[in-house]
Amino acid sequence: MTGNSPASEVVLEVADLTVGFPSDDGLVQAVRGVSYGVRRGEVLGIVGESGAGKSVTSLAVMGLLPRSAQVSGSVRFRGRQLLGAADAELNTVRGRNISMIFQDPMTSLNPVYSIGFQVAEAIRAHHSVSKAAARNRAAELLELVHIPNPRQRLDSYPHELSGGMRQRVVIAIAMANDPDVIIADEPTTALDVTVQAQIMESLQTAQQETGAAMVLITHDLGVIAGQADRVLVMYAGKLVEVGTAEDVFYTPRMPYTVGLLGSVPRLDRPGTRLISIPGAPPSVLHLPAGCPFAPRCPLVVARCTEKEPVLEPTTGPEHLAACHRSAALVGAAPGDVFDASASAVVESGRDA
């Protein structure tokens, strides 16, 4: 997929990943054939609304899905197959080569240990260093993520810190072993807006300090815009648009992406009406034939409900979109595509 870069540069490669969860009503297809690669030092953003399969994709990479999940495809870390590997083998990669930052810092730290102990533990889990050395390194890491008075804070317990501070501790733990890939699963979602920027800054420090590739999962396009080199847009378990941040933000070629962009309030364009995408994501239990976005799409044509589109190059070889109507989006603003149909839905809602 990332054709023009040498294969050795790609640290994490996911190919045709499919995840299903058996339920009483049938197989829930949470992820349907996702492929991507992350290069060293690159920040890859994955956006999509709740239930699009963003988190499941990253959990599958870490091998942390429940045992009931049916997973197929391949996940390669530096050419090494991780999917289906034994837990003991995965444990040498987890935390050492690939580390993960979870959504809620309130619960992702163990409440009974001091934070210094927890950072030191992460180091000692993969390196044989003395306790004192690990503690020193822990203090350095806390300083890197901008925790004031790191030496004193080593003996604090998680409940004594604010949410933002805790998430910084989690980031420090994630970078403790100098990983090659950091997966951040909605790192700012559980936090106050005012600390989000600080956390993103800490994440950036972590990424630059370790030189790691970062997979940044979020539903907040503003977070992605400032950080990501490349962006994947997910919808109903599939990638619907792939490209560099500029491609996706300035020349989106999939109506869903256009809708997402149009729903973000922007200070540089005051007076523009925010648009909403009518309807709700389809049930991944009984997906309709054709494009999963078709029922909500203002540009829908007969072909959309018959054949599911595949990712195809649009503005450039690296900018892919899965849409039959991508040509219709050239030069269109979000308001042009969505406004009429959105107000129509509001109208019909009033009537009911």
Which position has the token pair 């997402």? Answer: 260
CB closer to another protein, 76 vs 96: 96
Q: How far is the CB of 101 from another protein (least distance, A)?
A: 9
Of 100, 20, 4, 66, give the one whose Cα is nearest residue 287: 20
DSSP one-letter code for 281:
P
DSSP H helices in 230-309:
245-250, 255-262
CB closer to another protein, 100 vs 322: 100
CB closer to another protein, 112 vs 352: 112
Can you read off the two tokens belonging to residue 76? 């390669």
Q: How far is the CB of 94 from another protein (least distance, A)?
A: 4
Q: How far is the CB of 72 from another protein (least distance, A)?
A: 22
Q: What is the dihedral of CA 297, 299, 301, 304, to 10 degrees?
A: -50
Q: How far is the CB of 67 from another protein (least distance, A)?
A: 8
Identify the helix (H) or strand (E) that includes residue 137: helix 131-144
CB 16 within 8 A of CB 74: yes
Q: How far is the CB of 104 from another protein (least distance, A)?
A: 6
CA distance 334 to 255: 9
CB closer to another protein, 88 vs 327: 88
Angle between helices 131-144 and 163-175 (to 10 degrees): 120
Q: Which residues bind another protein (CB under 8 A)?
A: 62, 64, 87-88, 90-96, 99-100, 102-104, 107-113, 121-122, 125-126, 157, 159, 170, 173
3-state secondary structure of 277: coil
CB closer to another protein, 118 vs 227: 118
CA distance 310 to 27: 22
CA distance 36 to 16: 9
CB closer to another protein, 182 vs 242: 182
Q: How far is the CB of 170 from another protein (least distance, A)?
A: 7
